[in-house]
Amino acid sequence: MKFLVTGGAGFIGSNYMHYVVNKYPEDFFVCLDALTYAGNYNNIKDLEGKNNFKFVKGDITDRDFINKLFEEERFDMVINFAAESHVDNSIKNPGIFLTTNIIGTQVLMDASLKYKVGRYHQVSTDEVYGDLPLNRPDLLFNEDTPIHTSSPYSSSKAGADLLVGAYHRTFGLNTTISRCSNNYGPYQFPEKLIPVVISKALKNEKIPVYGNGANVRDWIHVIDHNIGVDLIVRNGKVGEVYNLGGHSERSNLEVVKTILKQMGKSEDLITFVEDRKGHDLRYAIDSSKVEKELHWDRTYTFEQGIKETVDWYLNHTDWIDDILSGNYKTAYKE
């Protein structure tokens, strides 16, 4: 089968590319990425020598380009990781989130219909469900939880999810959607919590923590997330939504302290800053549906995964330096 994987040079997408290109030598994977600020060609350039991999630079919102690509390649499967995903940026500039996350999704699905793609999969987020109270650990998001968004980012992802459902019902497009909790692991752009903590701690710089750091997230290792996506794409029921959670709830402050301890750094680096606007209190996912139907499970505990993740960044300080200096932007040209 031939797969199109959009956003394949980003954090989750590049980890997915490494996983599937090596696992399925009989399939062919086209990695599409616009290489915006969070897309990094260095994440996937070592796959270029593989016989079942090809990288294409392009924007999912460019309808003419997408149609030409679909006509040339005749994909069997489309997996859409491409998205603007940083909540703070969505608060500052909502427009680009609506364009990429909603219009880009529409363009991909229109092409999928036109060129008779067998399956379109949308990679979404638990943030479409809003948040849960801190004092109700019994409450979890399941696939029937109503959408109740807080930020322009989560609203744009929810809008895309609704559009995917509409294309399935109205046009008969074979679709699936996965909604995951907070990912961590290698290649995460240093604007998100864990790589920010690591990169600042390396320089003994102050580490900003929103509010009092009590906001809780459910953490899933990126490999476990991608194993779930692969199972859903290949075996999930058409028209269904599947939640992928880590069953590893931690407060932001707890995550920061765990990283500092592993790095041998002082907690004095922590500085509390003004809370984010509309900051969600707690995310927690019920993954029982995908566990029962597709026999998915996590392979990483948070303790094991965070240790490996911190070690990866400490062993790849050149990767961090390239991003902080901006040199990574020239990797594809070179």
Report residue 240 as tokens: 């269904």
Strand pairing report for 53-57 and 77-80? unpaired
Exposed (0-12), middle (13-18) or buried (19+): which is 204, by Cβ within 10 Å?
exposed
Q: Where are the alpha helices (DSSP H) in 273-332?
A: 288-294, 302-315, 317-325
- In angstroms, the CA 213 to CA 200 distance is 17
Exposed (0-12), middle (13-18) or buried (19+): which is 95, by Cβ within 10 Å?
exposed
Catalytic sites, residue numbers: 126-127, 153
Task: List, in sequence order, every residue forming a beta bridge with 316; answer none if it has no partner.
Answer: none
Distance of CA 185 to the CA centre of its chain: 11
Distance of CA 126 to the CA centre of its chain: 11
Radius of gyration of the chain (CA): 19
The gap between the terminal CA atoms of the chain, to the nearest Å, is 31
- In angstroms, the CA 137 to CA 284 distance is 9
Exposed (0-12), middle (13-18) or buried (19+): which is 332, by Cβ within 10 Å?
middle
Angle between helices 193-202 and 302-315 (to 10 degrees): 50
